[in-house]
Amino acid sequence: MQRLAYENEKLARRPQGHNGEYFVVCTLYYTPKESGFTFERGFDATPVTKPGLGGRKYPRDFLRSVKKEGFGRIAMPVDGRHY
């Protein structure tokens, strides 16, 4: 938060002051969708499996994203679930 305070102080020191402008901090989350991880979109879509997936294969970059985000949405449900 020090950076945020610093940037807002810089804005306040301008001749016109803040003038209605402020810096804010946002955290964005996204859910990787298996259907979006294609070779055409520049992803490594090589089908791979990992322990715990019961031999099911998913695009390599999709699994990397799911590992990083902790969640993902698959195209075909497993046990009635799309995640």
> What pLDDT, in 10s, does the model give residues 15-53?
998 888 888 888 888 899 999 999 999 999 999 999 999
Q: Is the pLDDT of residue 1 over 80?
A: no
d(CA 60, CA 34): 10
Mean pLDDT within 59-64: 97
Q: Is 72 within 8 Å of 32 (Cβ atoms)?
A: yes
DSSP H helices in the chain: 2-13, 60-69
| Secondary structure (3-state) at 33 | strand
What's residue 23's pLDDT?
83
Task: Specify whether the CB–CB gap between 34 and 75 falls below 8 A.
Answer: yes
Where are the domains positioned within the chain? 1-30, 31-77
Of the CA atoms within 13 Å of residue 19, those in its CB half-sphere come to 7
Q: Give me the pLDDT at residue 67, please.
A: 94
